[in-house]
């Protein structure tokens, strides 16, 4: 009886062992990181084919993607074959003491590579911004924190964690855009340009005198902007700061009331020197020349004439820019009126009944009730002698008062001024 029971028990053990060895996964067996010990083929197949989504942790953000969108396909038959082979008593006994890990067989299609290579993750905590620090004269760029997933890292994590609910944390790499590189280079140029002082050398009374603009003063003078689309620095001189600088050094920049360093020219020269530095040249000096300068800076009207009686000079301005300067002769026998006027009429040649002379390129700007006559701008006048000879006032009169109140210009210069103005053009006369 006991022998019969023993035989039955042994038969049951053998039968159970055979069934277990052939139908169940051995102890301490993992599919990647997924424990599958004791599961049947059907159970494992259901588990690995039931995977629908994968969660990714990038920095501090979690993204969830359907497995189909990632282009990952599991070969369940090949995976099950690897899990169940070889199945023997020896491997079963070994599994009681040693862990066995089987990697699932996965296919990573072109969709997977397209996902990793083309998908950009914007992990910025602040929006992209570009601004100018006008104190330190630097371009400040808050670039977007954009990343891509490392392809091999994600493949490895999916393979290891397939079928689990683990959140995967693949390696990422940051994308560097060209704008950030360009701004870095421009900031280096600005730092180099502001590093050294700029010297203004002034020719004054036969001597050279020096005025130094320190790096701090230079930063205060310059206004910068950055045109990102063209990768260009737009640099200007601050008009208000430059005016303060010029007035502060007015004595050094002038010889007398009429002769001084032109403020507009000096401003342009400082800008030119600085932009030359930005181009990589080591420009340390600006040469400033003292000369006759106008009373205005081209800001009195869109287009106008300026006449300075003390200098015996005329200046032409248009659109805020200095156009030209001419020697003149103003009133000696009757003073040229001062103030603000405008061109009243024009004629290619006009005759003065008062002085009996012809006045080419006539431009009237004032009517004098005392003389009952117009005052105008014209070429050096001439008269015709009895023999028909044309006699013109000498050109040596230019540069000093010699007229009856009009403003005389040199031959050629009067035609230029005549073509420049039209009726209504403002005329400013300074004493």
> What does the pLDDT look like over 130-176, one tens digit per residue?
999 999 999 999 988 999 999 999 999 999 998 888 999 999 999 98
Q: For 313-366, how does the pLDDT look when each residue is reduced to its tens digit (9 = 90+)? A: 999 999 999 999 999 999 998 999 999 999 999 999 999 998 999 999 999 999
What confidence tier does 420 reach under pLDDT thresholds 50, 70, 90?
very high
Catalytic one of 114, 184, 326, 406 = 406
Query: Rounded CA gap, 307 and 378, in Å?
Result: 13
Backbone phi, psi, residue 116, to 5°: -70, -30
* Residue 406 predicted with pLDDT over 90: yes
Query: Rounded CA gap, 68 and 56, in Å?
Result: 15
- The answer to whether residue 406 is catalytic is yes
Q: Which two tokens stand for residue 180?
A: 């950030």
**Rounded percentage of the chain residues whose pLDDT exceeds 90:** 68
DSSP 310: T
Q: What is the dihedral of CA 395, 400, 401, 402, to 10 degrees?
A: -30
Catalytic one of 114, 184, 378, 402 = 378
Backbone phi, psi, residue 33, to 5°: -105, 5
- The answer to whether residue 378 is catalytic is yes
Query: Rounded CA gap, 41 and 19, in Å?
Result: 13
Strands 373-379 and 407-409: parallel
For residues 170 and 158, is the Cβ–Cβ distance under 8 A? Answer: no
Q: Please choose, from the candidates 184, 62, 55, 53, the residue with its C-alpha nearest in 3D space to the C-alpha of residue 123.
A: 62
Mean pLDDT of 170-193: 94
- Return the CATH number of the domain spanning residue range 178-293: 3.10.20
* Homologous superfamily of the 294-431 domain (CATH): L,D-transpeptidase catalytic domain-like (2.40.440.10)
Q: Which two tokens stand for residue 145?
A: 């924190």
Q: For 112-134, how does the pLDDT look when each residue is reduced to its tens digit (9 = 90+)? A: 999 999 999 999 888 889 999 99
* Residue 219 predicted with pLDDT over 50: yes
Domains 178-293 and 294-431 share a fold: no
| Domain definitions of the chain by residue range | 2-175, 178-293, 294-431
- 202 beta partners: 209, 288
Residue with tokens 């130094």: 212
Predicted local confidence at residue 14, as pLDDT: 47
Calculate the alpha carbon distances from 214 to 172, 200, 245, 254, 358 in Å: 47, 11, 12, 21, 57
């Amino acid at each position: 009886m006991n022998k019969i029971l023993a035989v039955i028990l042994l038969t049951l053990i053998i039968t159970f062992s055979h069934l277990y060895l052939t139908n169940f996964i051995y102890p301490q067996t993992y599919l990647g990181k997924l424990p599958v010990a004791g599961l049947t083929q059907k159970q494992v197949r259901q588990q690995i084919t039931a995977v629908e989504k994968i969660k990714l942790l990038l920095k501090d953000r979690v993204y969830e993607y359907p497995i189909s969108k990632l282009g990952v396909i599991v070969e369940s038959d090949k995976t099950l074959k690897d899990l169940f082979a070889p199945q023997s008593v020896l491997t079963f006994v070994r599994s009681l003491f040693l862990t066995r890990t089987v990697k699932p067989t996965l296919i990573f299609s072109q969709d997977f590579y397209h996902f990793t290579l083309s998908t950009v993750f914007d992990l910025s905590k602040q929006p992209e911004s570009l601004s100018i620090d006008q104190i330190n004269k630097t371009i400040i760029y808050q670039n977007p924190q954009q990343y891509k997933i490392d392809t091999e890292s994600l493949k490895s994590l999916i393979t290891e964690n397939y079928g689990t609910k683990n959140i995967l944390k693949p390696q990422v790499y940051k994308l560097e855009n060209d704008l950030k590189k360009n701004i870095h280079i421009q900031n280096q140029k600005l730092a180099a340009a502001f590093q050294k002082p700029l010297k203004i050398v002034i020719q004054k009374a036969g001597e050279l005198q020096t005025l130094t603009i320190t790096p701090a003063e230079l930063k205060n003078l310059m206004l910068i902007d950055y045109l990102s689309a063209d990768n260009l620095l737009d640099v200007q001189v601050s008009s208000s700061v430059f005016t303060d600088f010029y007035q502060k050094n007015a004595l050094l920049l002038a010889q007398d009331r009429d002769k001084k360093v032109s403020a507009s020219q000096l401003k342009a020269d400082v800008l030119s020197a600085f932009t030359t530095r930005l181009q990589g040249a080591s420009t340390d000096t600006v040469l400033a020349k003292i000369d006759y300068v106008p009373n205005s800076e081209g800001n009195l009207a869109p287009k106008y004439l300026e006449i300075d009686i003390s200098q015996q000079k005329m200046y032409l301005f248009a659109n805020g820019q200095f156009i030209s300067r001419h020697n003149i002769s103003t009133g000696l026998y009757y003073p040229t009126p001062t103030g603000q006027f405008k061109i009243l009429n024009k004629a290619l040649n006009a005759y003065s009944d008062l002085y009996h002379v012809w006045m080419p390129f006539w431009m009237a700007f004032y009517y004098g009730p005392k003389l009952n006559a117009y005052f105008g701008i014209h070429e050096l006048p001439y008269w015709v002698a009895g023999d028909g000879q044309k006699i013109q006032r000498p050109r040596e009169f230019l540069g000093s008062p010699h007229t009856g109140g009009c403003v005389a210009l040199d031959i050629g210069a009067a035609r230029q001024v005549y073509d420049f103005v039209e009726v209504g053009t403002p005329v400013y006369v300074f004493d």
